[in-house]
């Protein structure tokens, strides 16, 4: 079965600290993994996807098939990074979301 | 960019009435749209896949007669919650598929059934 697990409901850090939002998945085939972000009072939007191998707003995520993980990282968190982050995988167009992690970056 | 709108953004209705929520892709055509439901402090749960010109595909446990989906054009999908009850109160979000496994999300519709 397809499943995405985000073990942390809340991650609170100070500005400038490194951030790692954990995501583990289970999928029988070769998944495509995504990170979506939802800022306060805004719609859900794509942050990055593993096949792009790009860094968006300083965030990166590496797909580790051995550990079935797709953790989201940023070396220096900013206050504007405070948001809800959802890890998701897709198969046949459908998205399966994790339960989300709220990142709170304090000054 | 790709913009998806939803209307209404918020609706309050009496128990037993039906509510229609519209999802539009404003600047692209979407043969496939998705409807999600999100409970407070929980993740998005896929309810159904809406395919233009054909019947929607519902996820397990979602009542198709309760949640009617119509995808009459390449830019519009509607979700009708029939005979709504308080337990149907939730945040309903649609997304439109633009290809290459990319979905663009609407802002959501908050439904409150009294």
Please give the structure tokens belonging to residue B22.
């519209």
CB-CB under 8 Å, B102 with A46: yes
pLDDT at B1: 64
- Pick B107 or A28 by higher pLDDT: B107
CB-CB under 8 Å, B97 with A93: yes
pLDDT at B54: 85
Q: Return the DSSP state at A80.
A: G
Residue of A46, A93, A97 with shortest CB distance to B43: A97
Could you give the 3-state DSSP secondary structure of residue A56?
strand
pLDDT at B13: 95
What's the mean pLDDT when you consider all of chain A? 91
Radius of gyration of the CA atoms of chain B, in A: 13
Q: Is B106 on the interface with A (CB under 8 A)?
A: yes
A24: pLDDT confidence band, cut at 50, 70 and 90? very high
pLDDT at B100: 64
Q: Is B92 on the interface with A (CB under 8 A)?
A: no
Share of chain A above pLDDT 90, in %: 69
Q: Write out pLDDT tens, residues B35-79.
A: 999 987 778 899 999 988 888 999 999 999 999 999 888 899 999
Nearest CA to CA, how far is A93 from chain B (Å)? 6
Nearest CA to CA, how far is B72 from chain A (Å)? 20
Nearest CA to CA, how far is A43 from chain B (Å)? 5
């Amino acid at each position: 079965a397809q499943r995405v697990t985000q073990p942390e409901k809340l991650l609170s850090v100070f500005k400038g600290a490194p951030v790692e939002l954990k995501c583990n998945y289970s999928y029988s085939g070769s998944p495509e993994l995504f990170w979506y972000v939802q800022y306060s009072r805004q719609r859900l939007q794509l942050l990055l996807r593993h096949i792009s191998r790009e860094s968006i707003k300083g965030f990166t995520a590496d797909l580790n098939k051995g550990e079935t993980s797709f953790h989201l990282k940023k070396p220096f968190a900013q206050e504007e990074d405070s948001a809800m982050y959802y890890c998701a995988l897709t198969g046949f167009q459908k998205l399966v979301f994790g339960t989300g992690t709220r990142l709170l970056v304090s000054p | 960019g790709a913009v998806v709108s939803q209307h209404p953004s918020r609706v309050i209705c009496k128990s037993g009435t039906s509510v229609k929520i519209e999802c539009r892709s404003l600047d692209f055509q979407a043969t496939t749209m998705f409807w999600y439901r999100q409970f407070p402090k929980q993740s998005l749960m896929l309810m159904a896949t809406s395919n233009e010109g054909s019947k929607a595909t519902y996820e397990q446990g979602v009542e198709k007669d309760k949640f009617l989906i119509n995808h009459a054009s390449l830019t519009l999908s509607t979700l009708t919650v029939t005979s709504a009850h308080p337990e149907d109160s939730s945040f309903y979000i649609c997304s439109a598929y633009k290809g290459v496994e990319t979905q663009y999300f609407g802002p959501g519709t908050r439904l409150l059934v009294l």
